[in-house]
Structure 1
Amino acid sequence: MVNELQDKIFDEARQAYGQAGFERWRNKPYRGRPAKAEYEGASTGTCGDTIRIFLHIENDLVLDAGFGTDGCGSSQISGSMAAELAVNKTCEELTAITGDTIMEALGGPNCMPEEDRHCTRLAANALHEALGDYYFKTLGARES
Protein backbone atom coordinates (compact mmCIF):
# COMPACT_ATOMS: atom_id res chain seq x y z
CA MET A 1 0.00 0.00 0.00
CA VAL A 2 2.71 2.51 0.97
CA ASN A 3 4.84 1.57 -2.05
CA GLU A 4 1.85 1.97 -4.37
CA LEU A 5 1.14 5.42 -2.95
CA GLN A 6 4.81 6.41 -3.31
CA ASP A 7 4.85 5.19 -6.92
CA LYS A 8 1.71 7.20 -7.65
CA ILE A 9 3.24 10.37 -6.17
CA PHE A 10 6.43 9.84 -8.18
CA ASP A 11 4.47 9.24 -11.40
CA GLU A 12 2.48 12.44 -10.85
CA ALA A 13 5.68 14.40 -10.18
CA ARG A 14 7.30 13.02 -13.36
CA GLN A 15 4.24 14.09 -15.35
CA ALA A 16 4.23 17.56 -13.80
CA TYR A 17 7.97 18.30 -13.98
CA GLY A 18 9.44 15.89 -16.54
CA GLN A 19 12.25 13.51 -15.65
CA ALA A 20 14.88 16.23 -15.06
CA GLY A 21 12.53 18.26 -12.86
CA PHE A 22 11.50 15.12 -11.00
CA GLU A 23 15.15 14.30 -10.24
CA ARG A 24 15.75 17.86 -9.02
CA TRP A 25 12.60 17.72 -6.87
CA ARG A 26 13.58 14.35 -5.45
CA ASN A 27 17.28 15.08 -4.78
CA LYS A 28 17.04 18.83 -4.08
CA PRO A 29 20.55 19.95 -5.06
CA TYR A 30 21.62 23.17 -3.33
CA ARG A 31 19.01 22.74 -0.59
CA GLY A 32 19.91 24.46 2.65
CA ARG A 33 22.11 27.30 3.76
CA PRO A 34 25.80 26.86 2.89
CA ALA A 35 28.09 27.12 5.92
CA LYS A 36 29.74 30.32 4.69
CA ALA A 37 26.64 32.03 3.28
CA GLU A 38 26.43 35.56 4.65
CA TYR A 39 23.76 36.97 2.36
CA GLU A 40 20.10 36.06 2.10
CA GLY A 41 17.08 37.08 0.10
CA ALA A 42 13.48 35.95 0.15
CA SER A 43 10.42 36.34 -2.01
CA THR A 44 6.85 35.36 -1.18
CA GLY A 45 4.21 34.84 -3.84
CA THR A 46 0.49 35.42 -3.73
CA CYS A 47 0.22 31.63 -3.43
CA GLY A 48 1.89 31.89 -0.01
CA ASP A 49 5.12 30.11 -1.00
CA THR A 50 8.36 31.71 0.16
CA ILE A 51 11.68 30.97 -1.51
CA ARG A 52 14.94 31.94 0.21
CA ILE A 53 18.30 32.13 -1.54
CA PHE A 54 21.58 32.09 0.40
CA LEU A 55 24.86 33.30 -1.10
CA HIS A 56 28.53 33.07 -0.18
CA ILE A 57 30.29 35.84 -2.11
CA GLU A 58 33.95 36.80 -2.15
CA ASN A 59 35.39 39.54 -4.35
CA ASP A 60 32.06 39.94 -6.17
CA LEU A 61 32.00 36.23 -7.16
CA VAL A 62 29.42 33.73 -5.89
CA LEU A 63 31.38 30.80 -4.49
CA ASP A 64 28.41 28.89 -3.06
CA ALA A 65 24.64 29.16 -2.95
CA GLY A 66 21.68 27.40 -1.43
CA PHE A 67 17.93 27.68 -1.17
CA GLY A 68 15.06 26.99 1.16
CA THR A 69 11.33 27.04 0.64
CA ASP A 70 8.12 26.23 2.41
CA GLY A 71 6.44 25.80 -0.93
CA CYS A 72 5.40 23.31 -3.55
CA GLY A 73 7.54 21.16 -5.82
CA SER A 74 7.75 23.95 -8.40
CA SER A 75 9.13 26.30 -5.73
CA GLN A 76 11.66 23.64 -4.77
CA ILE A 77 12.97 23.05 -8.28
CA SER A 78 12.96 26.79 -9.06
CA GLY A 79 14.94 27.64 -5.91
CA SER A 80 17.35 24.80 -6.59
CA MET A 81 17.98 25.98 -10.15
CA ALA A 82 18.37 29.63 -9.09
CA ALA A 83 21.06 28.59 -6.60
CA GLU A 84 22.80 26.44 -9.20
CA LEU A 85 22.78 29.25 -11.77
CA ALA A 86 24.27 31.68 -9.23
CA VAL A 87 27.40 29.66 -8.45
CA ASN A 88 30.55 30.96 -10.16
CA LYS A 89 28.74 34.08 -11.39
CA THR A 90 29.82 37.63 -10.70
CA CYS A 91 27.41 39.90 -8.91
CA GLU A 92 26.79 41.73 -12.17
CA GLU A 93 25.95 38.45 -13.92
CA LEU A 94 23.39 37.66 -11.20
CA THR A 95 21.34 40.67 -12.24
CA ALA A 96 20.69 39.02 -15.62
CA ILE A 97 19.10 35.90 -14.08
CA THR A 98 15.33 36.15 -14.47
CA GLY A 99 12.38 33.85 -14.04
CA ASP A 100 12.65 33.11 -17.76
CA THR A 101 16.35 32.23 -17.35
CA ILE A 102 15.44 29.77 -14.60
CA MET A 103 12.56 28.30 -16.60
CA GLU A 104 14.77 27.78 -19.66
CA ALA A 105 17.46 26.14 -17.53
CA LEU A 106 14.80 23.77 -16.22
CA GLY A 107 13.79 22.82 -19.76
CA GLY A 108 11.34 25.49 -20.87
CA PRO A 109 7.68 26.27 -20.12
CA ASN A 110 6.69 22.61 -19.95
CA CYS A 111 9.02 22.02 -16.98
CA MET A 112 6.16 22.62 -14.54
CA PRO A 113 2.41 23.17 -14.52
CA GLU A 114 1.35 26.52 -15.98
CA GLU A 115 -0.20 27.66 -12.70
CA ASP A 116 3.19 27.18 -10.97
CA ARG A 117 5.42 29.03 -13.45
CA HIS A 118 5.40 32.11 -11.23
CA CYS A 119 7.73 30.12 -8.93
CA THR A 120 10.61 30.80 -11.31
CA ARG A 121 10.03 34.54 -10.82
CA LEU A 122 9.91 34.07 -7.05
CA ALA A 123 13.28 32.32 -7.19
CA ALA A 124 14.78 35.08 -9.36
CA ASN A 125 13.39 37.74 -7.01
CA ALA A 126 14.86 35.94 -3.99
CA LEU A 127 18.22 35.77 -5.77
CA HIS A 128 18.12 39.51 -6.47
CA GLU A 129 17.13 40.18 -2.85
CA ALA A 130 20.18 38.18 -1.70
CA LEU A 131 22.33 40.26 -4.04
CA GLY A 132 20.77 43.39 -2.55
CA ASP A 133 21.67 42.09 0.92
CA TYR A 134 25.28 41.70 -0.25
CA TYR A 135 25.41 45.26 -1.60
CA PHE A 136 23.74 46.67 1.50
CA LYS A 137 26.16 44.93 3.85
CA THR A 138 29.33 45.52 1.85
CA LEU A 139 28.61 49.10 0.81
CA GLY A 140 27.38 49.91 4.31
CA ALA A 141 30.61 48.50 5.78
CA ARG A 142 32.71 50.57 3.35
CA GLU A 143 30.88 53.78 4.24
CA SER A 144 31.21 53.29 8.02
Structure 2
Amino acid sequence: MNEKVKEYFQKQTNLEIMTDATVLGKGGDPGCGDYIELYLKIENDKILKATAMVAGCPYAIATTSVFTEMITNKLLDDAMLITGDQVANYLGGLPEEKIHCSLMGPDALHNAAHNYIMARICTPAGGQV
Protein backbone atom coordinates (compact mmCIF):
# COMPACT_ATOMS: atom_id res chain seq x y z
CA MET A 1 0.00 0.00 0.00
CA ASN A 2 1.50 3.35 -1.03
CA GLU A 3 1.73 6.39 1.26
CA LYS A 4 -1.12 8.32 -0.37
CA VAL A 5 -3.52 5.39 0.02
CA LYS A 6 -2.43 5.04 3.67
CA GLU A 7 -2.99 8.77 4.22
CA TYR A 8 -6.55 8.72 2.85
CA PHE A 9 -7.35 5.47 4.65
CA GLN A 10 -6.20 6.96 7.96
CA LYS A 11 -7.79 10.41 7.68
CA GLN A 12 -11.09 9.13 6.21
CA THR A 13 -12.17 12.56 4.99
CA ASN A 14 -15.93 13.02 4.49
CA LEU A 15 -16.82 9.52 5.64
CA GLU A 16 -20.02 10.25 7.51
CA ILE A 17 -23.78 10.23 7.01
CA MET A 18 -25.14 13.54 5.74
CA THR A 19 -28.55 14.03 7.34
CA ASP A 20 -29.55 16.92 5.04
CA ALA A 21 -28.43 15.36 1.76
CA THR A 22 -30.29 16.26 -1.39
CA VAL A 23 -29.77 12.80 -2.81
CA LEU A 24 -28.26 9.40 -2.02
CA GLY A 25 -26.46 7.08 -4.42
CA LYS A 26 -25.39 3.51 -3.80
CA GLY A 27 -22.73 1.32 -5.34
CA GLY A 28 -20.37 -1.49 -4.62
CA ASP A 29 -18.73 -4.67 -5.73
CA PRO A 30 -20.83 -7.74 -4.94
CA GLY A 31 -17.83 -9.95 -5.71
CA CYS A 32 -15.84 -8.76 -2.71
CA GLY A 33 -18.55 -7.21 -0.53
CA ASP A 34 -17.37 -3.58 -0.69
CA TYR A 35 -20.29 -1.15 -0.49
CA ILE A 36 -20.75 2.63 -0.62
CA GLU A 37 -23.56 5.05 0.13
CA LEU A 38 -22.78 8.47 -1.35
CA TYR A 39 -24.59 11.49 0.12
CA LEU A 40 -24.72 14.69 -1.93
CA LYS A 41 -25.87 18.20 -1.10
CA ILE A 42 -26.71 19.73 -4.50
CA GLU A 43 -27.87 23.24 -5.31
CA ASN A 44 -28.33 24.53 -8.87
CA ASP A 45 -26.76 21.30 -10.14
CA LYS A 46 -23.55 21.97 -8.17
CA ILE A 47 -22.31 19.48 -5.58
CA LEU A 48 -21.80 21.65 -2.51
CA LYS A 49 -20.86 18.76 -0.24
CA ALA A 50 -20.20 15.06 -0.66
CA THR A 51 -19.92 12.49 2.11
CA ALA A 52 -20.10 8.72 2.13
CA MET A 53 -20.39 5.65 4.24
CA VAL A 54 -18.29 2.76 3.03
CA ALA A 55 -17.83 -0.84 4.09
CA GLY A 56 -14.75 -2.49 2.73
CA CYS A 57 -11.01 -2.81 2.69
CA PRO A 58 -8.53 0.07 3.21
CA TYR A 59 -8.44 0.64 -0.57
CA ALA A 60 -12.24 1.01 -0.70
CA ILE A 61 -12.09 3.50 2.17
CA ALA A 62 -9.23 5.51 0.63
CA THR A 63 -10.77 5.68 -2.85
CA THR A 64 -14.14 6.71 -1.45
CA SER A 65 -12.57 9.40 0.72
CA VAL A 66 -10.60 10.90 -2.16
CA PHE A 67 -13.60 10.67 -4.50
CA THR A 68 -15.71 12.83 -2.17
CA GLU A 69 -12.98 15.48 -2.34
CA MET A 70 -12.73 15.23 -6.12
CA ILE A 71 -16.44 15.89 -6.71
CA THR A 72 -17.08 18.59 -4.10
CA ASN A 73 -17.76 22.02 -5.65
CA LYS A 74 -18.15 20.54 -9.12
CA LEU A 75 -21.20 20.71 -11.36
CA LEU A 76 -22.92 17.34 -11.38
CA ASP A 77 -22.26 16.91 -15.12
CA ASP A 78 -18.53 17.58 -14.61
CA ALA A 79 -18.30 15.29 -11.59
CA MET A 80 -19.86 12.47 -13.59
CA LEU A 81 -16.90 12.61 -15.98
CA ILE A 82 -14.48 11.53 -13.22
CA THR A 83 -13.41 7.96 -13.83
CA GLY A 84 -12.12 5.19 -11.66
CA ASP A 85 -8.77 5.54 -13.44
CA GLN A 86 -8.57 9.18 -12.34
CA VAL A 87 -9.32 8.19 -8.74
CA ALA A 88 -6.65 5.46 -8.85
CA ASN A 89 -4.11 7.80 -10.48
CA TYR A 90 -4.76 10.50 -7.88
CA LEU A 91 -3.80 7.96 -5.24
CA GLY A 92 -0.62 7.03 -7.07
CA GLY A 93 -2.04 3.84 -8.53
CA LEU A 94 -3.67 0.75 -7.06
CA PRO A 95 -2.80 -2.94 -7.23
CA GLU A 96 -4.65 -4.66 -10.09
CA GLU A 97 -6.81 -6.64 -7.66
CA LYS A 98 -7.99 -3.39 -6.02
CA ILE A 99 -8.89 -1.40 -9.15
CA HIS A 100 -12.57 -2.20 -8.57
CA CYS A 101 -12.42 -0.02 -5.44
CA SER A 102 -11.79 3.07 -7.57
CA LEU A 103 -15.01 2.39 -9.52
CA MET A 104 -17.34 2.43 -6.52
CA GLY A 105 -17.47 6.23 -6.16
CA PRO A 106 -18.22 6.91 -9.83
CA ASP A 107 -20.83 4.12 -9.83
CA ALA A 108 -22.53 5.54 -6.73
CA LEU A 109 -22.40 9.04 -8.26
CA HIS A 110 -24.15 7.80 -11.40
CA ASN A 111 -26.82 6.20 -9.21
CA ALA A 112 -27.19 9.45 -7.24
CA ALA A 113 -27.45 11.49 -10.46
CA HIS A 114 -30.21 9.18 -11.69
CA ASN A 115 -32.05 9.59 -8.38
CA TYR A 116 -31.56 13.38 -8.48
CA ILE A 117 -32.91 13.68 -12.01
CA MET A 118 -35.87 11.41 -11.28
CA ALA A 119 -36.76 13.45 -8.19
CA ARG A 120 -36.71 16.64 -10.26
CA ILE A 121 -38.92 15.08 -12.93
CA CYS A 122 -41.38 13.47 -10.53
CA THR A 123 -41.80 16.34 -8.05
CA PRO A 124 -43.41 18.77 -10.55
CA ALA A 125 -45.64 15.93 -11.74
CA GLY A 126 -46.98 15.34 -8.26
CA GLY A 127 -44.81 12.29 -7.78
CA GLN A 128 -45.92 10.67 -11.05
CA VAL A 129 -43.56 9.89 -13.90
Question: Normalising to structure 1: TM-score of the pair?
Answer: 0.80
- Specify the alignment match of 1:127 in structure 2: 109
| Structure 2 unmatched runs, 5+ | none
The residue correspondences of 1:9-28 to structure 2 (distance < 5 A) are 16=1, 18-28=2-12
Please tell me the root mean square deviation across aligned C-alpha atoms, in Å. 1.3
Which residue identity does 1:133 align to in structure 2?
A: N
For 2:38, what is the secondary structure of its paired residue?
strand
User: Using the alignment, how far apart are the partners of 2:78 and 2:121 within structure 1?
Assistant: 18
- Specify the alignment match of 2:75 in structure 1: 90
User: Using the alignment, how far apart are the partners of 2:69 and 2:110 within structure 1?
Assistant: 14
Identity percentage of aligned residues? 29
Larger Cα-atom Rg: 1
**1:64 is aligned to 2:57:** no
Q: Once superposed, which parts of structure 1, at least 4 consecutive aligned residues long, lie more than 3 Å away?
A: none
- Specify the alignment match of 2:100 in structure 1: 118
Post-superposition Cα deviations, 1:49-82, rounded to whole Å, max 9, x if no partner, equal 1112110001100000001111111110111111
Which residue identity does 2:91 align to in structure 1?
A: L
- Specify the alignment match of 1:37 in structure 2: 21
- Specify the alignment match of 1:142 in structure 2: 124
Q: Which has the higher helix share?
A: 1
| Structure 1 unmatched runs, 5+ | 1-15
- Specify the alignment match of 1:11 in structure 2: none
Which residue identity does 2:109 align to in structure 1?
A: L
For 1:52, what is the secondary structure of its paired residue?
strand
Q: Tell whether the 8 Å contact from 2:59 to 2:101 is kept in structure 1 after alignment.
A: yes
